[in-house]
Structures are given as C-alpha cells and as structure tokens.
Structure 1
C-alpha cells in the first residue's frame, strides 16, 4: 500500500512457537482426547505367528461377550471395500488379514464396544486356526529363500506398473543407477580396491502419542479425525477404497504428539473408516505403546560398498548394493530404496558409479518412512567406508575427503549438478569446530578418548505439490489455510512468518488453520523436510496474491498510492462497513524436475535442492567394558536462510539426539518374528543423562530458489551422527564397528577380537 511504511521484519527472527502456551497449559487438541457421542472403541486382535494361511477365525465367543457391539474380520471389510488393500506405492496391505498373515502382530480382527475395557477382554476370546508357513526374516536370506511373502507383486501407481504380475520373488522394488563408464573396467584399472559390508537393525519411531483415529459417519459422507502427516493422501486413499468421490471424505488433523514418519500415509484410517461405516456409529482406535512396534519400524539394512582408487588416493569407481528390510508390506519402502539409493555414492566426485538398491519383503512388521528416509543407514556405511580407506592408505581422513568431495557446480552421480550447496564449506566447518589436527587429550589408563566426523548429502523429494490460501481480513489480520501438519517441527510458526513478511504485518496477526480437507487445499504431505521449501513457497505466493488483490481493492475505492488508508476503511468504502476479505491462492511445484532414466537413474534435474550436513563427535571408552560415552557432538548444517533461527537450532539438535539413540542403544529385538522389547521399559530412548554437549553450526548463505532463501532442515542433523561416532570409536581404540547399535558389548567384542582373544558367541 505505502512504500514509505517501515518494513516489519518477520523472516530471520526467533519468534516464539505459536502453540507453546497451549501445550504447556494442556489446552491443545489431540485426537487421543476426542470423545464423540455414541462412540465405539475398537481393539485389534493380532496374529501370533509370522507367516501362515488362515484356516478359520472363530469370533463367536467374543461376539457373545456382554457389551460387545460387533466383531469384524477381513471378510466383513469386503462388504464396503471390494478390494480392501491399501498402500502408497503398492496396493498390497489388507485392512484386516485375508487368507494369510505375514507378520506377528498383523491385524486379523477388531472388536467394537462402548467400553474399551470390554473390547480388550473380548479380543482375548477370538480363536484363529493357522496353517503355518516357513517365514523369512532377514533381508539377505529373502534373496534366495524358497518361501515368498507375497505370491505376486501389486504395484499401485503408474510409475511402477512394469512390476505388475511379477511372481515368486521377495524383491519388492529394484532400483539401479549407472554413472560414467563401465564400473567393472574402472575397478580393473584401479590401484587399490576396498570392499566392506555394514548392517543396521530396525528401530522404532515411538512418538509419545501413538497412532489414533476417530471415524465419524456424517450423512452421505465420513469424517476422519486422525493423527496423520498426510491428510490429503488419506482422503484420496479412503475414497479409492470405498469407491466414493473425494468430497464425501473429510480428514481433520490437529497437532500431533510426534510423528517422524510413523504417521504417514495410511495407518489406522482404513480400518477405522470401515468399522465406523459397518457399525453406523463413530469408532475410535487408539494404539498402545506396545502396538506401535507392530505397526511401523525403521528399515534395517545390509549395505555392501566397494571403491576403487588411483595412486593419488582419488576414488575412481564405486559399486553399492543395498538391501532394505521392508517387512511384510511395501508401504513407502520402494521410495526409500530409490531416494536413499541414488545418493549411495555420497557427496563425492566419482567418475564411475554403479548402485543397486532393493526393497525386500520379509515376515517382519512394516518398515516405512523415518527421519532421514534411509540416509542415516546409508551414510553409516559410506562414511565408515571412507574412514577405513583413509586409514588403510595412511592419509588423514580430512585430507582424504578433501581430495574426493564434490565441489560447487560438479555433477553428482545422479547427473544433477551440485548448486548452492557447498560440501567443502560443510567439511571445513566441522573440522574447524572439532579442532581437527590440533592436540587432543587421549585419556589415560583404561579410559581412552577419540574423535571423528562424517559428512552426508540428501536430495529433497521431487516432484511434489503444495497449495495454500491466504485470507486477508478487514481487521488487518491474515489467515493461512494449508495442509502442512505441525507435529512439533514448528511449521505453523515458520509459515506464519513468511506470510507476515510478505504482508508487512506482525507475525501475531497471522493465524494458521490446521489441516482439514474440507477447507485446506492439497499438499503432498509433511515428510522429507519438504514443507518449509514447498509450502513456504505456496504461502509466500498466496500472500503476494492477497496483497495484489488488496492493492486492486484500494484502487477500486479511490485510495491513492502512498495514502496509507487503513485496511478497515478500504473494506468500509467497498462494503458499507468494515467487513470482508480478499483471498490469495497459490500452488507450488518446483520448476524443471526431470524424472530419472529408469535404466541408469540419470537426470540433469533430479531434485529442487540438496541437503548437506556433517557431525563431529568426541567419545570416551572404558576399555574394560567397552562402554562408549559420547562427550560432545557438533552438528553442521547447510540450511539456507533461517526463517526462525531458534526453531532451526532445535530441529537440528533434536534430529541428532534422535539418531544418537538409534546409534547407541535403540534396536527392535525379534524372536522368530515376535518383538521382545515392545515397551519403554525395554526399548530405551535417550534420557537427559544420555545427551552430550551439543553444538550447532549453521552455514551462512541462501538457497537460490528457496522461499526467502530457505530450505528444509528437519532431517539434516540425523545424517552423520552414527558414522561420526563410529569413526571416533576407531580413533579412540582402533577397532571398527560395522553394525549398529554401538553397544558396550559390540565394542568390547571388537577389542577382544583385535587382540586375538575373541569371545564366544552367545
């Protein structure tokens, strides 16, 4: 309106999280607290065997239990969902088991009752007769096993229809990348060749709010109140399953009590929707903490990496084979195999690269998206491998990396250039903060100290879409309507700051409407650190559209440019009183995405931006027990412009703490498919006493195409923690840990083996 008005700075300021007061006073809305009139509670009967044909399901005793309204099985679901199989990439997961069960804990039946305790008691009365089949649990055994988790692959999206009808395989999805010349010839010509194998194990997301959904029949439609990170997808998938137009499905998502990928795509929504429609009453299903472990896990993986080097210590060839343990159903596993697999060469300038990345079916619980999307596992392998080569060659690990890193403008193994993301600056910063090369106190007696570092790269997800609406009111406030889910990352605050910056108003005057598919436009999902970049752009563009329309209104009602007429007066001149709105809309899809060649994985524009991070670690080891204490972590991140510096710092440190737990102690233990540590009593996440000194260092600079120069940071702090600690352990005691988690027993066994006194395996 007036160029002379002082610009109110919103972007770049550490504004308080807008939901903070509601959270600390207990007033915030969570679905776990939702109660609807006449509501039934659902409790799930789960398989007790890992792989079997279902011979019969006897629900008669449970159905006769006083207070039970209904007991549903897979055959009942078919009454309203003719093909009751869901999935984001493959339509392979039944709402309730049909014909077979494929993992311990798979939902087989659900009991509905007005009292959740009655429903839980009735579940114990269900009897299922199984014809057990040979299970397969390990991703490597699944390659050659004679038992198949699925008889036939069931791809659900156009891009993978080439797999339709493929039978007798546990390879759910194969991805390959080929870069440069013939990699085998390059290995033959190499002066040195190094080959190593690494493993990671499944871990659990364990958000403090387990998955929960309430489904409510509403006239000719259905409303889902759910804790989910992708409400737009839920609406689409439920409409597909029911054969309904999407407008009959409404999905509401308030705040989440944590997500980390555990609440993406479909979790409980299909089952609860079907139950509510069959019961003709609202139905609520809240999982217990134990049930989370049978619902979704992080991928365990076996990673084989081979590198050829010339006489100057430069990597000339790399071959990677990655096998992801995806569990019984595909979920988003094929995308993990693709998105993580394509960066298996790391942030290194390697002329000849061959990568094969396989999503494997096994008889374990489903593995899906988790913070980092496969990259922490991948970086665990290639940064251990990098350090091992450097030490074998007698080259300082920092110098070795400097010889081999990608530099600005160079082409990554995917064929996409590295622009506005400097590997060299990240590497130099972590070395500087770790004081690499300077004297270091090595400990004394039985306590040894060491330090190490690692660097990693991730491509942002592409292509994806975000849409936003900004409504500017006569009272001078603005409302942002979008489907980004704030699950603790602070997206509501950051997006409000972007809108405030465009409209030159205080951040407190921008309100954010939580995702509701009857109101909010489409968004791909809150995942992969995409929201700030994609929805940030959509919010910016929608705010600019609203601003332009306000200027049109001003001209229409005779306000002269620069006259500084209050907004309320503009609307009063237009409508006779100070009421009304102008509405800005926008849709954002990054420009220029080129899908990779299906045979080579090559693309000149595979990602809208690169994410780069590094971690330095200092550790202390008790050589009598192998116990590792992490004393210090230094996280370096290329974040572009920081929309809210305090939130950025918390995002990076929070990611590093989460990965610290999965590095040092977290592992889902299985006994013939049964989870044996499915509680916080046995599955230990880091406590305050486990958290070391943490430093965060942000690189200065803007992302060229980001909203106000910003890009996502939610995963960056997780990338390199595991490999930095492993490298520090080697630096301290000279043994290499190739399998996570890095427990005291693992380190002690490695030290004894290195001393020629190996311990017997238990």
Structure 2
C-alpha cells in the first residue's frame, strides 16, 4: 500500500503539530487516575513480605472492623466463588487475582481492602495478619534453570491467547517455562573453520518503565449488567476478552475504555489491575478504583534482567562464520508476556549480520522476584548490548575499524536473516553510514588513551547497530465515519499514550480522504464501539492500524466517488479527493465540495458514510526445533547509534557528549514526531546504560522509590542529541510507513560501552556503566 509520490502528499510527510498538544499543555485531558464515579470505593493491596512461601493463615477480622472498610478479600475467598477462574496471564494463566495458597515474590498480592477513602484502605492493611511457611527462594535465572532448583510453579496452564505462542505446552517440573531454539547451518564446523573464537558473558539488570501515570483501574457494573472498566491499558481488546474468561461473561457484557494514557512503554500491557478491580466491584456492588503508589508500580512489572553468553567465530579476513548464543531471561514470579519476548529476542540474538552457522538457546526462567514483561525494545536492547559489545572486541583483535567491520558483515537487502526470512526494507547499512557521518567517525583501531577537553578526561567515539522484528501475526480493525460536513470520526482501539498515534493516524485518514487534518478526530478505545486491535505496542500502530484506517477510508471514498461520478459524468477512477473536494484529476476545476456530494447522495438532510476494514498480517509457520521460517515478521526495524563520551579518569564518571541515532522508518508520516520518538527512545536507553537498575537483595527491592532509583534528568542529556530519519519506504506500509517508537532503544548501550572502552581500555560487560565499574577497570589496568 506504499505510495512513492511524496511530493504530492497534502498531509502525510508534513511535520504538523500534535493534535493532542494544546489540551495536554493546558491540563485539560482526563486520565484514569483522575476518574471518579458516584459512590466510588477505593481499594488497597496487601502484599507478601517473603519471596517464597506457603500461606498458612490470613486473619482479616481486625481490618474488617476498621473505619471506612467495606470489604476485605483474600485468595482463600476466591476458592469458593462459583463461575470464576481466578487465574490470568497472556502466556500462562499462572497469576492469581490474589495469591492462592502460595506467594512467589516480595510484593505478591495477598489481600485487598475496599474502603470509602483511599487512605483508609491503606491504613487497614496494617490490621491484616499473615502467617507464612517460608520456602527456599530461587533468585538467579541461571541457577533457577538447573534441574533440582526450588520450583516457583509446580504446574502451568498455557493461556493459548496468541497464535505466535500456540506451541506453548503445559509446563513440566522446571522453572524454564519457555525455551526458544534457533539452528542454522553447522555451528561446530563453523567454529572449526574460524581463525579466532570469542566467548563472553554479558549482564543487563531489571529496570523500571518509569511512566508518569501509575497503574490505575476503575470498574463498575452498569444497570444492564455490563462490567465496565476504565484503565490505562495498552491492550483494551485483550483485557476485554480476558475479563470475560475470568468471570464467565460473554464479551458483549464486558466494556473496556481507555482515555489518554500517561506513558506506558510496555508496562501497561495485558492484565494488571483490571481483574482485581472487576472482582471487587462485583463483590462490593459499587464502583471500585485501584491506583498504585510508585513503590507498588516498581514491583508490579519490570524490564527483564538478562544473562547472555555469546560465542562467535570469525575468519582472519573478518567474516563471521559461526555464532552460538545462550540467553537467560529472568521473568520473575509470573510469565506475563515473557515467552514472546524470549521468542522474538531469541531469534534476534543472531544479530544484524550475515552469519551462516548459528545456534541459539533462549530460556524464559521463573525466579522469586517481581514479574518482568514487555519493555520498549521488547528484549532486543539486552541482546544487542551483548552482541555489539563483542563486535568491537572482535574488530580490535583483527586490527579492524569497528565501523568498517560492521559494514562488511551487515545484512543487506535480500539477505537471509538467521531464521531464513529475507530481509527487505531494512536500511541497516544506510543507518550505520548516517550516524558515522554525523559523529565524524575517525576510522582506525583503538589507540592509547588520549586527553580530552579537560585534564584527566579521556574522550572517544563508539558505534553499534541492531535490528528488531514487528509482532507478526496481528490484527487491527478500523471504522471511518464521514459526516455530511466532511468531518471525520476514526474509531480504533489504538491507545494514545504519548507516542503521537492520534496525530499520525489522523494524517493517514486525512490524506486518504482528501480532507483537512483538523477535520479528523481519532476516538479513544471503547470496546463497546471500537473494533478489535491486537495491542498498542511494538511500534506496530502506524503500519497496522494505519493500513486498516486507509482501507476503511478508501471504502468511504469509493462511495463518494460513486455519487460524484454521476454528477460529474466521469468514471470513478478519474476522480481525486483533495482539499475537501471531489474533482476530475485531469480537470481540477470540475468538482464538488464533499457536502454537496452528500446532498446529492442522501438529500438535503444528509447522513453519514461509513467504511470499515480489518488489516491482518501473516507469518509463515516456524519450525520449533530450528526456528526457521520463510516469513517470521511483516517488517524489520533497523537502527544504528554513534556516541561520543568523556570519561573522568579520576572518578570513572561517564558523560555522553553527543548521541546520534539513525532509524529506518519506511516513510515518515510526521518527520518531526519521528525525530522525537527516535531521541525519546534513545534517552530511555541512555538512562539504563549509565545508572538505572533495580537493586534486589534476597528478593527484596532496595530502591523502590524515585529517591533511590536514579533516572535520567535534563542534566544527563547530551549536549548534542541528533535523530536521523532514514526513509526506505515499505511496499505494504500506509504511504510506505513502518514504525519507529522502539528502534532508538536497540544499540545505545553498546555504542556507549564501546566508546568508553575506546577512551579508557575498560570493557564493562555488566550494565549499567557506573563510575565504580569504570574506576575498578582503570585501576586494574594500572
């Protein structure tokens, strides 16, 4: 569905202001945390204080007598509730609404208090007594994967919610809930033929999403018996189906609405608070709202901590001959969507290069720690950190320039990826060359430490690249309604959470219909009226929902042309829609304003025209033993990073002076917003490269607040942060567009790590790159 006539676009390709900008800067939008209902109650959650244990007793009697308390519910109560399946989860139904018989991490929900005021609900939590039989916890994913380790879950029930996870089977007596395998070529022969073999371990810690708006949900049952939930979820269609399954309701008795969302980054995907809020509203018979504190957000969902072992063989002339990768994903106490993360990042562990012989094992491992799930980049940044750090180590050993070494091996148009899938519309080479030009890359191998701009400061540049696949298969539906004044309502279940989807989708609809941008309004998700959409995540919305909107708009336009062709006495295929008019392409003065077309079709009172469409992508079946597939993804996200750093040789502190990020976006629907997305995603990775990490001791989070968890501030942003939009239009994208929201996360950590090494000779293999680690390396070198 691409269209290469960029110069003819009226709205697409233009850096128009965000349609949600004015209301946001004036403070008028209402978020879930702002929502209230008449008679609304508030809920608070009692959480486990031990990482692993059996629940012997929960005494809620004192809490039930506390001021303002309406209801206290425990997992024991769930056992006797008829018609309820109390377990949920997108990969495995492994998480109870409230813990039943056993707790699996410090923070596991045990009981909920419902009260007339939020503070009263939290105060009553202290009145609940819990007695545990503590069990030995398992806290290291590599140890947890070994036979004989204490089991986090004794049995597992696959959710069977998604086609790409259909192969998941009931779990056996192991903490490895999913194992992805990729096999291509003869890896041992490849190593035997290699002149050099490199073998290293790399580590990435868990980290926080740091969305501004905490998790919140408000549930009630309306007069028709419809369960209604307002939530900040990224996946309203999924949540609707999940709540129906939990409570035994037909889907027309479940309604999920999502207003504007104050950030998510993967942390609000699938079920979070919605099952508990729904349970409590059924029991209390009044609206119930749950809103987490920041400390609770920290232990609700995290980015995966990852341990990676990478072994790579290369020829003397610099060709990569073999690669063997072993990755352990710490998914915490519950799987959430981790098997998909492990699957997709598993095959991406081959890297962005031509490698004929590959062996990958990617393990999803339960531990007694907070659950991990989707995070911007969907696991790829963790493996790119390992792969691209080692690429520089290989280049140095061979006496090669790191950039040139990459360019000689990088995947090009038509090459086969490790899965056997051809690579198309993936501007990896272009992205690498673009960041190199902008950073003024100096070819050559690393030399001795050179002084920087200040005494005792070393300065150097680093480069890295990565590639990610979009979720495939997936489905997006859209309804486009044109009113008789040429204004347009677009009904989708895409969630606007700050990424700019309302603007991009409005531009696509306006371009296709030939109306002004201000005449288009994208409605926010309400599953009672908005069509199904898989999720808003993975940078899929512009492509998938954009195509659905374009198809639906074409149906509206077909009806307009059908009527206008009679009035203008030409065939419909001779007509064009532009500037709110339908006119003859070869005679632009022969035309009609759209309201007149409505009048001709319906009469003076007018009506509406409606088009609807479903856009679905397909993947070729994957061999589960080899990971091979002719089409594993609808399209690729390629990107590259260059970084220039200064390192204080006395303190070890790293300062990023310049950060350059290039991403292939297909066609930029809104170039300025693409630039904002690229830099925004790069800065998220910058924070996690230099200082962000969740510090756990014996399963307990030691830095659960913004006082202790260091996040990026304006003082940490580089003096120069440069986004580069690479446009390689995708043949099937709406006007050639792909996605862009995650690509900037992929290779930032590795580029900075490589720059630090080139400046100091210190190779850090465990994120974040803290002053302590650099200083230890400097002292060891001395």
Rounded to whole Å, the distance in 1 between the matches of 2:540 and 2:740 is 9
Match of 2:741 among 714, 731, 743: 714
- Could you tell me how far apart the structure 2 residues matched to 1:125 and 1:58 are? 9
Q: Could you say if the C-alpha distance between residues 26 and 160 of structure 1 is closer, same or farther in structure 2, counting changes exceeding 3 Å?
A: closer
1:83 aligns with 2:110: no
Do residues 29 (structure 1) and 26 (structure 2) align? Answer: no
SS in 2 for 1:233: helix
Question: Which of 498, 512, 519 is 1:502 aligned to?
Answer: 512
| Partner Cα distance (1:579, 1:682) in 2 | 61
- Of 643, 665, 678 in structure 2, the residue corresponding to residue 617 of structure 1 is 643
Q: How many angstroms apart in 1 are the aligned matches of 2:259 and 2:597?
A: 34
Cα gap change, 1:8 to 1:698, in 2 (>3 Å): closer
CA distance in 2, matches of 1:15, 1:430: 26
Deviates more, 1:439-448 or 1:35-44: 439-448
> Is the Cα–Cα contact under 8 Å of residues 257 and 526 in structure 2 kept in the other structure?
yes
Alignment partner, residue 213 of structure 2 = 209
* 2:716 alignment counterpart: 690
Pair 1:700–1:574, CA change in 2 (3 A):
closer
Partner of 2:327: 322
Q: CA deviation at 1:82?
A: 3.0
Question: In structure 1, how many angstroms separate the alpha carbons of the residues matched to 2:299 and 2:225?
Answer: 34
In the alignment, what sits opposite 1:107? 109
Secondary structure (helix, strand or coil) at the match of 1:32 reads: helix
**Which shifted more, 307-316 or 322-331?**
307-316
Residues 155-170 of structure 1: pairs in structure 2 closer than 5 A:
155-157=158-160, 164-170=169-175
Aligned equivalent of 1:659: 685
Q: Find the partner of 2:140 among 134, 138, 141.
A: 138
Residue in 2 that maps onto 1:3: none
Alignment of 1:238-249 (within 5 A): 238-249=243-254
Find the aligned partners of 2:334 and 2:203 in 1 and give their Cα distance.
21
2:474 alignment partner in structure 1: 464
2:339 to 318, 329, 334: 334
TM alignment of 1:262-277, pairs within 5 A: 262-277=267-282
- For the 8 Å contact 1:8–1:504, the answer to whether it is kept is no
Q: 1:725 aligns with which of 752, 757, 764?
A: 752
Structure 2 SS opposite 1:367: coil
Higher deviation after alignment, 78-87 or 686-695: 78-87
**Structure 1 equivalent of residue 634 of structure 2:** 608
Please tell me whether the aligned partners of residues 69 and 124 of structure 2 are also in contact (alpha carbons under 8 angstroms): yes
CA RMSD of aligned residues (A): 1.7
Is residue 165–residue 340 contact of structure 2 (8 Å, CA) maintained in 1? no
Cα offset, 1:162, TM superposition: 5.9
Indicate if the aligned counterparts of 2:164 and 2:472 stay in contact, CA closer than 8 A.
Answer: no
Q: TM-score, structure 1 length as denominator?
A: 0.96
User: Kindly tell me: are residues 508 and 165 of structure 1, through their superposed partners in 2, closer, same or farther at Cα, counting changes over 3 Å?
Assistant: closer
Whether the aligned pair in 2 keeps the contact of 1:383 and 1:455 (CA below 8 Å) is yes
User: Which residues in structure 2 correspond to 1:121-200 (within 5 Å)?
Assistant: 121-144=123-146, 145-157=148-160, 164-180=169-185, 182-200=186-204
CA 1:403–1:568 in structure 2 vs 1: closer, same or farther (change >3 Å)?
closer
Mapped to 2, the partners of 1:197 and 1:172 lie a distance apart of 22
Q: Contact 1:138–1:362 (CA<8 Å) still a contact in 2?
A: yes
1:567-578 matches, cutoff 5 A:
567-578=594-605
Where 2:145 maps in the other structure, the secondary structure is helix
Secondary structure (helix, strand or coil) at the match of 2:141 reads: coil
Matched, 1:345 2:355: no
Compared with structure 1, are the counterparts of its residues 241 and 450 closer, same or farther at alpha carbon in structure 2 (3 Å cutoff)? same
Secondary structure of 1:368's partner? coil
Secondary structure at 1:61 match in 2: helix
Contact 1:668 1:677 (C-alpha < 8 Å) held by counterparts = yes
Equivalent in the alignment of 2:122: 120
Cα deviation per residue 1:488-530 (whole Å; 9 max; x = unaligned)? Answer: 0000000000010011111000011100001100000101111
**1:200-239 residue pairs with structure 2 within 5 A?**
200-218=204-222, 219-239=224-244
The 1:148/1:379 distance shift into structure 2, 3 A limit, reads same
Change (3 A) 1:271 1:174: same
CA distance in structure 2 between the partners assigned to 1:113 and 1:689 by the alignment: 42
Distance in 1 (CA, whole Å) between partners of 2:107 and 2:730 is 44
Q: What do residues 697-742 of structure 1 show as CA deviations (whole Å, max 9, x unaligned)?
A: 1223312221101100000111111000000000000110000001
- How many pairs align? 748
Closer/same/farther in 2, CA of residues 24 and 46 from structure 1, 3 Å limit: same
Partner of 2:577: none
Q: 1:573 to 1:377 in 2, by over 3 A?
A: same
- Three-state SS of the structure 1 residue aligned to 2:332 is coil
The yes-or-no answer on 1:673 pairing with 2:699 is yes
Return closer, same or farther for 1:687/1:159 CA change in 2, 3 Å cut-off. closer
> Is the Cα contact below 8 Å between 2:462 and 2:752 reproduced in 1?
yes
Q: Deviations over 1:249-270 (max 9, x none)?
A: 0000010000000100001000
Unmatched tracts of structure 1, length 5 or more: 1-5, 756-762
The alpha-carbon deviation at position 673 of structure 1 amounts to 1.3
Q: Deviations over 1:537-567 (max 9, x none)?
A: 0111111111102223445788766452333
Q: Which secondary structure does the structure 1 equivalent of 2:44 belong to?
A: strand
Q: What's 1:760 paired with? A: none
Report whether the alignment pairs 1:286 with 2:286.
Answer: no
Which position in structure 1 is the counterpart of 2:378? 373
1:642-674 alpha-carbon deviations (Å, 9 max, x no partner): 000111010000001111011111001112111
**Over residues 265-318 of structure 1, what are the superposed CA-to-partner deviations in whole Å (9 max), with x where a residue is unaligned?**
001000101110111110000001111011000000000000111221211110
Structure-2 separation of matches of 1:8 and 1:643: 10
Distance 2:721 2:441 in 1: 17
State the SS of the aligned residue for 1:428: helix
User: In structure 1, how many angstroms separate the alpha carbons of the residues matched to 2:140 and 2:83?
Assistant: 33
How many angstroms apart in 1 are the aligned matches of 2:709 and 2:170?
40
Greater CA deviation, 82-91 or 645-654? 82-91
Q: Report the Cα distance in structure 1 between the residues aligned to 2:181 and 2:205, rounded to whole angstroms.
A: 23
Matches within 5 A, 1:474-553: 474-553=484-563
Scaled by the length of structure 2, the TM-score of the pair is: 0.93
2: CA distance, partners of 1:364 / 1:171: 15
User: How many Å separate the matches in 1 of 2:155 and 2:781?
Assistant: 46
CA distance in 2, matches of 1:495, 1:149: 43
CA distance in 2, matches of 1:753, 1:278: 62
1:410 equivalent to 2:436? Answer: no
- Do the aligned partners of residues 575 and 186 (structure 1) sit closer, same or farther apart at CA in structure 2, a change above 3 Å counting? closer
Q: Tell me the SS of whatever aligns to 1:565.
A: strand
Take 1:404 and 1:747, find their aligned partners in 2: how far apart are those partners? 30
Distance verdict in 2 for CA 1:22–1:162, change over 3 Å = closer
